[in-house]
Amino acid sequence: MDLANIFRGMISWSNNLLSVDADMPREMDPDFVFNKSNIVGSFTFSSTSERTNYSAAIVTYSNPQNNYQDDQASVYSQEVADRFGFNTIELSRIGCTRESEAQRHGAYAIETNRDDNGVEFKTGMEGRIPRVGKVIGINNAPMAGRQNGGRVAAVSGKRITLDRAVAAKAGDTLIINLPDGKSQGRKVQGVQDRIVTVEQEYNPAPQAEAGWILDQSDLAIQQFRVKRVVNNNDGTVTINGLPYNPNKFPRVDDGAVIEDRPVTVVPPRGQEAPDDITISSLYRVSQGIGITTLVATVAGEKCDCV
């Protein structure tokens, strides 16, 4: 694992195959895509404790100016600290001999842990296609607020007939799972009801019933790096994934300021201020200790507060 940390790698053993993948920039589409039509049940999202949202990192590296003795470099993110508080992570990097490189390792840890919304879902045997370390894209319609995923109904060259009409427009990217076990995206040229015309044919040509998702400028797909694949021995596979944000690499390596595209078009809603509040209190003694309970009633709703 120490060697894998040098290149931000993930090592997995599956089907008598040792796989190594690096968490690095990639000029390609997700390796495979999922939506409500090719999973069992629904997507389950989870987040970690605020204590793992690190705002500072202390990285130990080998300093050539000090006969390659251990030295430390620190990185701090005020933005993360304002949101989650001051939490520090300590790292030790083998083969790191520059302070600037050590700082990038620290910035990478901060950026990676700030995206903590992991996903887990069950799917059919096609879930065995994406291995650990690969990147998958998903469309979770209830959260996204738009049904940008489904199954391909028919294919004729550049004309792709989908299973439903979509709010696609020219310039969007239609990503489809292909027969070779990989997904591929093509720019949308035009849309007529369920028929989407792309600028370039897919290679190889997609088949009917293949899964698809739509990546739009105002609604990005969610991407995750596969962490674990479990065969449930009932014809289904459970996939667990960690958030994958391609924008973190220019942020870490170049200090670029890049806004993430939204993954939902559902407008935020706020709770209106309550009125007609009625407050009363109850007093009781439990094990010799007096306990006062405040009872607040708001327009028929009751809240008991001790």
pLDDT tens string 56-75: 999 999 999 999 999 999 99
Going 77 to 80 to 84 to 88, the CA torsion angle's sign is negative
| pLDDT by residue, tens only, the chain of 306 residues | 677 877 888 888 776 778 888 888 887 789 999 999 999 999 999 887 777 889 999 999 999 999 999 999 999 999 889 988 899 999 999 889 999 999 999 999 999 888 878 999 999 989 989 988 899 999 999 999 999 999 999 999 999 999 999 989 999 999 999 999 999 999 999 999 999 999 999 999 999 999 999 999 999 999 999 999 999 999 999 999 999 999 999 999 888 888 888 999 988 776 677 777 888 888 888 888 888 888 888 775 544 444
- Beta-carbon-side half-sphere exposure of residue 23 (alpha carbons within 13 Å): 27
pLDDT confidence of residue 271? 64
pLDDT confidence of residue 306? 41
pLDDT confidence of residue 301? 52
pTM for the whole thing?
A: 0.81
Q: Is 196 within 8 Å of 168 (Cβ atoms)?
A: yes
Q: Is 242 within 8 Å of 116 (Cβ atoms)?
A: no
Strand-by-strand arrangement of the 301-305 sheet: 277-286, 289-298, 301-305
pLDDT tens digits, one per residue of 41-53: 999 998 877 778 8
Q: Which helix (H) or strand (E) holds 159?
A: strand 159-162
Query: First vs last Cα of the chain: how many Å apart?
Result: 49
Per-domain residue ranges for the chain?
2-47+117-254, 50-114, 272-306
pLDDT confidence of residue 292? 86
**What whole-number distance in Å separates Cα of residue 128 and Cα of residue 278?**
57
pLDDT confidence of residue 293? 85
CATH 3.40.50 fits 50-114, yes or no: no
- Indicate the SS3 state at residue 113: helix
